[in-house]
Amino acid sequence: MDERDVRLLKAIADLGTGSPEKLHEATDIPVSTIHYRLNNLKDDGVIENDLYDIDLEAFGLGVTVVVEVLADYSGSYEEVGNKLLEIEGVTQLYFTMGETDFIVVAHLADSDRVERLISDFEATPEVERTNSTFVISAMRDSHRALQSYTLETLLDELGIED
Amino acid sequence: MDERDVRLLKAIADLGTGSPEKLHEATDIPVSTIHYRLNNLKDDGVIENDLYDIDLEAFGLGVTVVVEVLADYSGSYEEVGNKLLEIEGVTQLYFTMGETDFIVVAHLADSDRVERLISDFEATPEVERTNSTFVISAMRDSHRALQSYTLETLLDELGIED
DNA sequence: GAGGGTATGGACGAACGCGACGTGCGCCTG
DNA sequence: CAGGCGCACGTCGCGTTCGTCCATACCCTC
C-alpha cells in the first residue's frame, strides 16, 4: 500500500462514492489504474465489499480506543462537540446523558498515537477530564446497523404491517 | 417506508452490495422497482450517498445507547462476545481492557426498546452487570474513519513516503 | 368509473468491469 | 553495459450492467 492507495481510499470516504469517474476527478489517478488499485485492495482484504467498507486493521488503523470526555459546555454542547470532531481519528462522537458528557470512539495507527489523541482532547479548553479505555478486540465495528436485526424485528419495531 | 423498503435496505446491509441484480436475487423485487425504491429513499434522505450509508434517524433507529458490560468470561471472551453479538441492535462490540469487559453501541427504534436490550444482556448467564448511557446526540456516527484524517496525517502515521 | 399515487416491464444510451495488450522503469545477470 | 525479465501503470475495446424514460397495469379513494 502506497500513497496512491491511501489517496484513493480517502477520496472514497470523503466523497461517499465508488464511481471511478468521480474518483478520477478527485485524485487525478487514471480510471484504469483506479480499477487496478481497487482490485488489489480487495484481494488484500483492505476493502471488504461493494460498499467499500474498509478493514481498518488491514489498512493500518488497528487500534481502537473509547474515550469518555468530561467537559464544561457552558456555551452549547454543539460548540464543544464540533471542536472534538476536528481531532483526527475520531470516528464516533456521542453527546450523552449521565456522568460523562461525551463518548468518543477513535481509530488509530498504534498505541503511541493514543497519547497524541488524549493530549489533543486535553488541549481543548472546555475539556476537564478524560478517561480512555483500550479496545483489545473489536468484535464488531460495523456501520451496517441493519445486519444485527432480523427482518421481522425491524418491521415490528418500525410498526410496519406486512 | 414499507416492508419492501426495509427488505431492500436490509439486503444491502447483509450482502454488502448495491448491485440491483444481486438485490433482485435476494429480495425478489423487480429490478426496475429497486431503482424506483432506492431513488425515493435517496430523496427522503434515508440513503445518504453512493455507498448506501443509512441515516439511522430517518430510518427509524434514532436511539443510540452505549452499554458497558461486566461479564464472567471464564471460558473465552470470544464465547461471551459471540453471545452478545446475537442480541439485536448491537452495532459495535468491543472487548476492552480496564474495569469493564465489553463496550457495546446499540441503535434502537425508541427508548422503550432499551429495556429489552438490557434484559437481553442480563439474560446472558455470563453477564454480571451492565451500565447504560443514553446518547442525546450522535454528532458523528460514521464508519468512514478516514474522513477524520487529513491525507498528510494518514501517510505520516502509516509510514508511507511520497 | 374517473383519477392520483404506486408498481412493473421493456427498451435504449451511457457507464462500468475486466481482460488483453503496450510501455516504462528497475534489477539482475552474464 | 547490453540484454532480458518482471512489476507497476496506462490504454484500448468489448461485453455486461446500470440508470432512465415511457407506457402500461394496479389499487385505493372518492
- φ, ψ dihedrals at A88, nearest 5°: -70, 135
Q: What is the pLDDT of residue A161?
A: 63
Mean pLDDT of all residues in A57-67: 95
Distance CA(B64)–CA(B73), nearest Å, equals: 26
Which of residues A130 and A74 earns the better pLDDT score? A130
The domain segmentation of chain A, as residue ranges, is 1-51, 55-132
Residue A154 confidence class, pLDDT cut points 50, 70, 90: very high
Q: B27 at the A interface (CB within 8 A)?
A: no
Residue B99 confidence class, pLDDT cut points 50, 70, 90: confident
Torsion of CA B100, B103, B109, B114, to 10 degrees: -10
Q: What is the pLDDT of residue A73?
A: 86
Q: What is the pLDDT of residue A74?
A: 87
- Please check the confidence at residue A1 and state whether its pLDDT lies above 90: no
Mean pLDDT of all residues in A113-117: 95
Torsion of CA B28, B29, B31, B35, to 10 degrees: -150
Distance CA(A15)–CA(A74), nearest Å, equals: 34
Contacts of A75 (CB under 8 A, 6+ apart): A126
- Please check the confidence at residue A142 and state whether its pLDDT lies above 90: no
Q: Which nucleotide is nearest to A3 (CA to C1')?
A: D8
Q: A138 at the B interface (CB within 8 A)?
A: yes
Contacts of A124 (CB under 8 A, 6+ apart): A71, A80, A83, A84, A87
B144–chain A nearest CA distance, Å = 5
Q: What is the pLDDT of residue B24?
A: 95
The C-alpha cell that represents B158 in the structure block: 502509516
Distance CA(A105)–CA(A96), nearest Å, equals: 13
Query: Measured from the CB, is A21 under 7 Å from any atom of strand C?
Result: yes
Task: Please give the full DSSP string across B23-89, using - where no structure is assigned.
Answer: HHHHH---HHHHHHHHHHHHHTTSB-STT--B-HHHHT--EEEEEEEEE--SS-HHHHHHHHHTSTT
Distance CA(B79)–CA(A49), nearest Å, equals: 26
Identify the residue among A90, A121, A148 best suited for mutation to test binding to B, counting B beta carbons within 10 A and taking the highest. A148
Distance CA(A116)–CA(B33), nearest Å, equals: 50
- Please check the confidence at residue B46 and state whether its pLDDT lies above 60: yes
Q: What is the pLDDT of residue B137?
A: 96
Q: What is the pLDDT of residue B159?
A: 81
- Please check the confidence at residue B162 and state whether its pLDDT lies above 70: no
Residue in B with minimal Cα distance to A84: B139
Torsion of CA B115, B118, B122, B126, to 10 degrees: 170
Distance CA(A65)–CA(B94), nearest Å, equals: 9
Q: What is the pLDDT of residue B161?
A: 57
Longest dimension (CA), chain A: 53
Q: What is the pLDDT of residue A143?
A: 81
Q: B91 at the A interface (CB within 8 A)?
A: yes
What confidence tens digit (pLDDT) does each residue in A47-60 have?
A: 999 999 999 999 99
Q: What is the pLDDT of residue A162?
A: 54
Query: What is the distance in angstroms measured between the alpha-carbon CA of B4 and the sugar C1' of C5?
Result: 17
What confidence tens digit (pLDDT) does each residue in A84-96 have?
A: 999 999 999 999 9
- Please check the confidence at residue A122 and state whether its pLDDT lies above 80: yes
Query: Measured from the CB, is A19 under 7 Å from any atom of strand D?
Result: no
Quick one: CATH architecture of B1-51? Orthogonal Bundle (1.10)
Which of residues A158 and A105 earns the better pLDDT score? A105
For chain A, percent of residues with pLDDT exceeding 90? 86
Place of cell 430523496: B43
Whole-number average pLDDT of chain B: 93
Mean pLDDT of all residues in B62-82: 94
Q: What is the pLDDT of residue B75?
A: 85
Q: Note the CATH number of domain A55-132.
A: 3.30.70.920
Which of residues B118 and B157 earns the better pLDDT score? B118
Which residues from 27-86 of B have any strand D atom under 7 Å from their CB? Answer: 31-32, 35, 39
A40–chain B nearest CA distance, Å = 18
Determine contact, residues B13/A53, Cβ cutoff 8 Å: no
For chain B, percent of residues with pLDDT exceeding 90? 88
What confidence tens digit (pLDDT) does each residue in A13-40 have?
A: 999 999 999 999 999 999 999 999 999 9
Q: What is the pLDDT of residue B74?
A: 87
